[in-house]
């Protein structure tokens, strides 16, 4: 018998707005990636517990100054939002809206793990869409509070001329701060089901999952609260997501929960049906741990170490760039076994530096280290490791106007980036390290440097990490190099080594 113990969260890292399907015995998931590129990561699993990145829907979404982080603003908190993943007649579909582009995108492929995705663009926003294939017709459900239905062509590539394009239903207003959004749509056993997240402004004031159902596509719809539980975590509700069944006939909801600075983490919860309504847990209480009739498997790491031993300039799937990269200015082959980041434009902080290479942070605690060769950096250059969100913190090398080199810890504050401490260094290489503490939402990062990688010195101060909506993303670990005076200098990173902090 297949048995696996599932403990929530199944991924203690920022994988928000999850959309999960099953094809055969394999589960696939897409999630929001906003300004990170490549975007819309596709993950797969055999048991809803262990997930592996296998593909991305796109390398870059658009090519303009904002997406290239050249306009002084970027697309932080924008880009791809709340994608919907579906499988129909041998094709995989992903759709989402982009607030900065005011567009609705549909991508499709026959090979979700290795294929290239065919892209269609429809002007106008369809907020947090849910794609539904229903008897040779295709619909997108979307909106915040006022939920609309939009009919697409059979290939989901365009609006259906003369099709259904109307307001479908108006969700609750009384005592609700954030009205229903994040739709997931299904047709099961003669019912249409629409799942949403909402955020009450009264009572316990935490996010909750609700479901609407109707025998008819256009309603009327009945409503129930499906889950109002925080799994014992600081009154942070578990919500926004959909449902999926297993080969054994079990049903599960895959939702997310806010976990402070690490981001929004996926949770899997057992589901059963009562009189045609999906019900999670017992008496409104969801289990943090349970046994599922699914095969156990070995975990595949979401965040990896990397020695940068590549034969071509194609990085492991775990890496994402902060906005569109300039592919002329990075290399893992120019100096074999090293990542080279060359400056190409002037920036005033790491937040607006191109070619910052990132991975997620993970709870409950983690640590990342690197070795930086700063021989070829120029005056005004700054390179190193960053704990990246709007309230970022860095440890790295700065080159002064007179060519003097020093290791510095900096942090972004209410008055902008501030250098907290600097120490003059000699030689040409430096070891750098950041430790992250997310235990019970402590949300603290500590910064270190070393001349030999064994005797570490703490520098600056602890960074109190804050999840802010301008980035709308959990903290990421990044390798960066930017110029504040002149382009053309470069920094070499020998490796990126990641682990769980002790």
Q: Which phi-psi region, left, alpha or beta, contains residue 255 (left: φ > 0; alpha: ψ -120 to 50)?
A: beta
Q: Which phi-psi region, left, alpha or beta, contains residue 6 (left: φ > 0; alpha: ψ -120 to 50)?
A: beta
Check: CB of residue 17 under 8 Å from CB of residue 82. yes
CA distance 361 to 317: 15
Q: Look up residue 117 and give its DSSP letter.
A: P
Burial of 251 (0-12, 13-18, 19+ CB in 10 A): middle
Q: Which of 14, 17, 229, 362 is catalytic?
A: 17
Check: CB of residue 100 under 8 Å from CB of residue 78. yes
Give the largest Cα separation in the chain, rounded. 76
CA distance 197 to 264: 14
CA distance 330 to 495: 15
The CA distances from residue 471 to 7, 50, 143, 310, in Å, are 28, 27, 22, 31
Q: Which of 181, 229, 306, 437 is catalytic?
A: 181
Closest CA to 76 of 500, 393, 476, 501: 476
17 classed as catalytic = yes
Secondary structure class of 281 (helix, strand, coil): coil
Give the DSSP per-residue string, 64-116: STTTTT-SSSTTTT-SEEEEEEEEETTEEEEEEEETTTTEEEEEEES-TTTPP
113 classed as catalytic = no
Angle among Cα 104, 42, 51 to the nearest 5 degrees reads 145
Please list the active-site residues.
17, 181
């Amino acid at each position: 018998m297949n048995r696996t113990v599932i403990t929530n969260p199944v991924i203690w890292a920022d994988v928000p707005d999850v959309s999960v399907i099953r094809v055969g015995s394999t589960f696939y998931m897409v999630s929001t990636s906003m300004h990170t590129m490549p975007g819309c990561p596709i993950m797969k699993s055999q048991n809803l517990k262990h997930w592996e990145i296998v593909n991305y829907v796109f390398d870059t979404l658009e090519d303009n100054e904002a997406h290239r982080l050249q306009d002084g603003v970027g697309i932080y908190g924008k880009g791809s939002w709340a994608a919907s993943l579906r499988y129909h007649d041998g094709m995989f579909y992903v759709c989402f809206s982009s607030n900065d582009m005011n567009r609705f995108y549909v991508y499709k492929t026959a090979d979700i793990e290795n294929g290239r995705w065919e892209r269609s663009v429809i002007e106008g926003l369809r907020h947090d869409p849910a794609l539904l294939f229903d008897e040779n017709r295709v619909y997108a459900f979307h909106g915040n509070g006022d939920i609309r239905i939009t009919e697409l062509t059979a290939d989901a590539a365009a609006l259906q001329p003369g099709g259904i394009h109307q307001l479908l239903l108006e969700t609750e207003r009384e005592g609700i701060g954030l009205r229903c959004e994040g739709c997931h749509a299904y047709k099961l056993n003669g019912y249409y089901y629409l799942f949403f997240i909402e955020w009450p402004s009264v009572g316990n004031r935490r996010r909750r999952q609700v479901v609407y159902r109707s025998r008819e596509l256009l309603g009327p719809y009945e409503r129930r609260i499906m889950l109002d539980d925080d799994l014992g975590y600081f009154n942070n509700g578990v919500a926004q997501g959909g449902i999926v069944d297993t080969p054994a006939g079990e049903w599960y909801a895959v939702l997310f929960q806010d976990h402070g600075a690490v981001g929004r983490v996926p949770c899997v919860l057992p589901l059963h049906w009562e009189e045609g309504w999906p019900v999670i847990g017992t008496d409104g209480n969801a289990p943090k741990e349970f046994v599922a009739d699914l095969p156990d498997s070995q975990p595949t790491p979401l965040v990896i170490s990397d020695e940068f031993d590549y034969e071509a300039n194609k990085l492991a799937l775990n890496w994402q760039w902060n906005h569109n990269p300039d592919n002329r200015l990075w290399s893992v082959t120019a100096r074999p076994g090293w990542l080279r980041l060359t400056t190409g434009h002037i920036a005033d902080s790491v937040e607006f530096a191109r070619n910052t290479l990132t991975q997620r942070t993970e709870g409950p605690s983690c640590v990342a280290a690197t070795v930086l060769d700063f021989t070829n950096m120029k005056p005004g250059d700054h390179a190193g490791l960053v704990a990246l969100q709007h309230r970022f913190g860095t440890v790295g090398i700065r080159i002064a106007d007179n060519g003097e080199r020093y290791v510095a810890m900096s942090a972004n504050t209410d008055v902008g980036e501030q250098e907290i401490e600097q120490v003059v260094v000699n030689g040409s290489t430096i070891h750098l390290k950041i430790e992250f503490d997310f235990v019970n939402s402590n949300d603290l990062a500590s910064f270190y440097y070393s001349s030999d990688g064994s005797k570490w010195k703490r520098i600056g101060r602890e960074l109190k990490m804050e999840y802010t909506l301008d980035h709308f993303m959990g903290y990421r670990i990044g390798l960066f190099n930017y110029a504040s005076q002149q382009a053309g200098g470069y920094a070499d990173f020998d490796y990126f080594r990641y682990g769980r902090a002790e």
